[in-house]
Structure formats: C-alpha cells, structure tokens
Structure 1
Amino acid sequence: MPDEAVEAVVDLGFRADLRRSLALLRRGSADPTMRVLPDGTTWRTSRMESGPVTYALRQVGPDRISCSAWGPGAAELVTGIPDLLGARDDPDGFVPRHPLLVDAFRRFPGLRPPRTGRVVEALVPAIIEQKVVGLDAFAGWRRLLLQYGTPAPGPAPAGMRVVPTTEGWQAIASWDWHLAGIDPRRARTAMGCLQVANSLERLGRDPDPSVLYRGLRSLPGVGVWTAAEVGARALGDADAVSIGDYHLPKVVGVPLTGSPLPEDRVEEFLEPWRPHRWRVVRLLELSPLATAPRRGPRMSRVDHRRI
C-alpha cells in the first residue's frame, strides 16, 4: 500500500505559472526526479529536511495549486509550496525596457523563479552540467539517479527516483562517475562540495543570497556560473544570471540587439535590469519572438568514458 497522501489546495495570493516556473527544475526530458503528464500534472520528488517526498501539483486557478504529497517530507513540502512557486519574488519592480520584454512579460504573468530550499539538490546536477553539452549532462544525471537514487514514495509514475542522501552521493565509486560520462574534475568538485553539504544548506537559509554565493564560490571548482544555477533554483533568486554560459551571449544579444554579444559584455549589458536579470533571460528563452537563429559554432561533445 502506498503511503497515505497529504492533500491540500493552496491559495498562493499571487498569480502563478506552475508549468513554466517549475520547468527550470527539470534536468532533461527523462529526468527521474520529474514528470509532466499530458493533463498538466507535474510530478516531482525531493529530499526535504524531514525526508524524501513525492508530490503531484495541478494548477486549479490563476493563484491556486492542488497538491498531493507522499513520504516523510510531505507535510514540509506542502507548507513550502508558496515559496516553491515564487512567493518571495517581487515582479512588480521589473521594468522591461525593451518592447520584446514588454510583450514577454505580458504573455507570462505568472512566471517566477522556483525556490526549493534544497542547495545540494541543485548543486550536484549543476556541477555535472559544467562545460559539457546538455544532452550528455542529462544522461549522466539520469544514470546516477537510476543507480543510486531511492524509489519515489507513494504512487509515483514508473521509474521516478529521489536524489541520494549526502552519504549516498559520497558512496558513488569513481568508476560509476566515469561510466556516467562525468570526468574526474567534475566528480572531484562534486565530492568536495558534498563534504560541506550541511554548511551549504545552512548558508542557503540566510535571507541574503550573497551569503550562499560567497560560500559556493569559495569551493574548488565552483564559480559564478554554477553558483547562479543553484541560486535560481534553490533560492528563487530573480537576479541569478549564469555569466559564462555558452549560449547566453546569443540568447540575450540576438533578440535585444540583433546580434550575439561579446562574451565579456554580457554582464555589463544586463546590469540595467538588476535585480531581475534572471527574469530577463528566462523571458527571452520563453518568448516566441526572441528565438535566436540556430546556426554558428556549437560546443563539441566529448565521451569522457574513453579518456
């Protein structure tokens, strides 16, 4: 028998876009921690402080979310749904400054950065995604989760897994990182971060995001890009911009200026939109009017299992 569900309908008090806001948490279409069904139900797993949880969310109104949750972390998860969907974000202060952003902001009024509150859960996959093609990173994430993750509580869709505990991540053999296509540098970075996992989670509870960012960037192998990837998901930081991302000069530059930006000018260009730089980038990614042309050099794929 599956665990008894914790059921709730949450009145958020603000307009939400469940599907687009939580899409940021999905690591590829085959991510074992997340499923989006044709009826719009979003299934996801997490490892809360109180334990693992599976939850199913449905949008039942512009500002209402229906939730069913299973597992030891269910009550904690339900309590945190407003934060998960962006309660700490303040989009009212956003000034689009460009007609394309004005249009995108109107099209996606409920878009907010998610706040999971789970730092390590966001950090490990971000490390796996450092300087590699997304498809390869997603495949490595999936392989490790299927091998080392734990079964999802409750009646989750087949194949769903919960991320390992810190001890579970630390138990992964170097050979298994290798078989997942994750080179020794990224594996060492992940293992080093896991040694201070409790401290990172504590820093993530500080209301000032810069506290966690300083802590993350003090760790070997973790830079501005990785810290921002964590901040956008674990902290719900609407100013988290992944400076150094391979695609960012094109994603920002082509729709707003007509051509890709020089890589060293991206941060300066986005400065007028602070503290909403994440929002600018995400709106451009979603806007049907802002698609960058699919041409030009692409990052080469590297099979680290052969190295």
Structure 2
Amino acid sequence: MTAVLPARLLNLPEHYDLAGTLSGLAVIRNDPTVRVTAREAWWVTRTPDGPGTLHFVRSGGTLTAEAFGAGAAWLLERADAIAGLRDDLSSFASVAGRHEVVRRLARTHQGWRMPASGLVFHHLLPAILGQKVTYQEAYRSYRAILRHFGEPAPGMPDMPVPPAAEAIAATPYYVLHPFGVEQRRADTLRRAADRAAALERAVDAADAVRRLVSLPGIGPWTAAEVVRASHGDPDAVSVGDYHLPNTVAWALAREARADDRRMLELLEPFRGHRGRVCRLLMAAGIGAPKYGPRFQIRSFARF
C-alpha cells in the first residue's frame, strides 16, 4: 500500500493529542469512517474529487499525513485543518478560567484541538440519523446505510467510504425504511442530499448554519453537530439535545435539571468557546442525577 502523492509533514504544538482531536470528526460514536489511536489515525471520506483516505502517523513533535484515492490531493491540502492545527486556542485559557471545572478540564485535555474537515454532508448524514432517537438506533441505521451504499476505502479496504449525496437523494424512502429510518428523517436526509452541493459552498460556519437550518427538518441541534466537525466551530452548541442542558447545569451550577435557555445562560461567559466547553464536559462523563423516563429503543423496520 503506497500513497500516490508525497507525504506531508506537520509540526505539532506541545501536548497535542491525536486521538482526542481526531475523534471530533465523528458526529456519532464509533463512526466506522474514523479510526484513531494515540499514534495513528485514519479518516475515510468522499471529497469533491472522489473517495479518499487520510492517514496520520505521529512521531514525537511531527505528524506525517499521507493520502490515498482520487481525493488524496484534496485531503493532503487540508490535512492540517483536519488534524485541528488551524484551531485557535489563544483566548481559551482566559475563558476557561472563569469556572473551576472548565479550567481543570481544559488543563487535563490541553492537547485537544477542533478538527475542521471542510465537508458538510459527510457529517450531516449521521447527524440527521441521530435526530430524536437513541444512540443505539442512530448507530444501527448509520452502519446499515454505510454497508448498503458504501464501498471499500482506498488504501484501507476494511473501512467504508460514505455514500455520495447524489445516491442518497435518488433513494426512495422504502429503501431506507428497513435500516430503521422512519419517513420524517428519511425525507430530511433526502432533501439535504439534494441540496448538498449548496451546503458544501458555505464560506464559514455561520454561513453553513444558515444554509442548514433553511432546510425543513434541520434545526439548531443538527446544524451545531455538523459545523463543529465540518468547520471546527468552537462555539457551536447543540441546542435541543436531550442530555446536554442537564450536563451543563450540573457541572457549572450543580442544578440537576435545566432547559436550553438556562444552558445558554450558563455558557454565556464562555462565548466563542461554548461548543468546546460542552465537549469537555461531555467527555469528562459529567452527568446530572438520573431520574425520570428514558428514550425507548424502537425498530422502525418492523412497522
């Protein structure tokens, strides 16, 4: 297995965490298109030039990037952004110091960066599948879609290339139904796939959010989940999340329950890095006391 193009060498900042950073490319946990360890990472995607695989290997303070497939040149050009090396952390230390919990987590995970893939639809597919369902349901649907539409990744044939937006847009609902995707999410997914080219032309995170929420079925939660990975937006907050308001309220104010309004109020001192703070809190496993009903796991394929 040999990359067609020369490898690209990237200098790393002190304390850089490859696994912690590249895991930010996964909108859904255990995303089969992402594989990371402390020293090595693979990411498979569909670039404007075609399928491609990006491979990172760390050695000391250097990260070697090599790429495979039709999208290799595109991936190598963006390798530093995908590795989170364009993320600006210069103001975060002072912001994090506004709360002891955030300050401690920022120090513990000081090597984390926000990756910016430069691709919208790659992350939009699992984000839509994750709307208003449990993680298990979303993951099962995502894996089924990757198996149905995907193809072996260049240079890494045991990993799948995500489906082309055109293929999803042309797929009738009855094909998606056995994968556990009910009509509402299926219609949202197919509309988004039909508009994928326009979504990819977004000039920055704010523009991407505007374009995303203009589509029926896509709200602030989905948009935030996408732009954190596509544009490395450190301020994107997943408003409408089932657990996040309680997590934020418990971590920052020892309040067991909160709504989105209260969550945003507590996050306001961290404006500019609110999404980064949320990621730190979630990764730390901070959770409010659990009581009340939970989402039930359903199988739409049976209906």
TM-score normalised according to structure 1 size: 0.89
For 1:50 and 1:76, how far apart are their aligned partners in 2?
A: 7
**Alpha carbons of structure 1 residues 5 and 294: separation in structure 2 relative to 1, 3 Å:** farther
For 1:77 and 1:138, how far apart are their aligned partners in 2?
A: 26
CA contact (8 A) 1:112 1:238 kept: no
2:19 is matched with which residue?
A: 19
**Alpha carbons of structure 1 residues 43 and 88: separation in structure 2 relative to 1, 3 Å:** closer
Residue 280 (structure 2) pairs with residue 283 (structure 1): yes
Residue 269 (structure 2) pairs with residue 272 (structure 1): yes
Aligned-residue offset at 1:40: 4.0
Residue 3 (structure 2) pairs with residue 7 (structure 1): no
2:251 is matched with which residue?
A: 255
Stretches of structure 1 lacking an aligned partner (at least 5 in a row): none
Structure 2 residue corresponding to 1:90, chosen from 52, 70, 88: 88
SS state at 1:219 partner: coil
SS state at 1:68 partner: strand
CA contact (8 A) 1:166 1:197 kept: yes
1:19-70, CA deviations, whole angstroms, 9 ceiling, x for partnerless residues?
11221223333x3312235x742222011122211122223235x2122321
Aligned-residue offset at 1:210: 1.7
For 1:184 and 1:19, how far apart are their aligned partners in 2?
A: 36
SS state at 1:275 partner: coil
CA contact (8 A) 1:16 1:85 kept: no
1:303 is matched with which residue?
A: 299
Aligned-residue offset at 1:134: 0.8
SS state at 1:86 partner: coil
SS state at 2:7 partner: strand
**Alpha carbons of structure 1 residues 83 and 5: separation in structure 2 relative to 1, 3 Å:** same
SS state at 1:91 partner: coil
Aligned-residue offset at 1:221: 0.4
Pairing of 1:151-166 with structure 2 (within 5 A): 151-154=152-155, 156=156, 158=158, 160-166=159-165
1:107-133, CA deviations, whole angstroms, 9 ceiling, x for partnerless residues?
111212210010111111111110000
1:105 is matched with which residue?
A: 106
1:141-195, CA deviations, whole angstroms, 9 ceiling, x for partnerless residues?
11101110121111x162x111111222223342231111011000100111112
User: For this pair of structures, how many residues does the alignment match?
Assistant: 298
**Alpha carbons of structure 1 residues 295 and 111: separation in structure 2 relative to 1, 3 Å:** farther
1:219-242, CA deviations, whole angstroms, 9 ceiling, x for partnerless residues?
100101011011101010000010
AA partner of residue 268 (structure 1)? E
Runs of 4+ in structure 1 over 4 Å off? 12-15, 291-296
Residue 132 (structure 2) pairs with residue 131 (structure 1): yes
Aligned-residue offset at 1:300: 1.8
For 2:272 and 2:132, how far apart are their aligned partners in 1?
A: 26
For 2:101 and 2:265, how far apart are their aligned partners in 1?
A: 19
Structure 1 residue corresponding to 2:70, chosen from 72, 95, 101: 72
CA contact (8 A) 1:252 1:281 kept: yes
CA contact (8 A) 1:32 1:146 kept: no
2:222 is matched with which residue?
A: 226
For 2:199 and 2:267, how far apart are their aligned partners in 1?
A: 28
Identity between Structure 1 and Structure 2 (%): 38
AA partner of residue 73 (structure 2)? A
Q: Which moved more, 1:215-224 or 1:254-263?
A: 254-263
CA contact (8 A) 1:8 1:68 kept: yes
**Alpha carbons of structure 1 residues 89 and 261: separation in structure 2 relative to 1, 3 Å:** farther
**Alpha carbons of structure 1 residues 13 and 76: separation in structure 2 relative to 1, 3 Å:** farther
CA contact (8 A) 1:6 1:70 kept: no
Structure 1 residue corresponding to 2:79, chosen from 78, 81, 87: 81
Stretches of structure 2 lacking an aligned partner (at least 5 in a row): none
Residue 57 (structure 2) pairs with residue 58 (structure 1): yes
1:175 is matched with which residue?
A: 174
2:199 is matched with which residue?
A: 200
TM-score normalised according to structure 2 size: 0.91
Aligned-residue offset at 1:292: 4.3
AA partner of residue 10 (structure 1)? L
For 1:100 and 1:176, how far apart are their aligned partners in 2?
A: 46
Aligned-residue offset at 1:13: 5.6
Residue 116 (structure 2) pairs with residue 118 (structure 1): no
AA partner of residue 100 (structure 1)? V
CA contact (8 A) 1:252 1:260 kept: no
**Alpha carbons of structure 1 residues 5 and 153: separation in structure 2 relative to 1, 3 Å:** farther
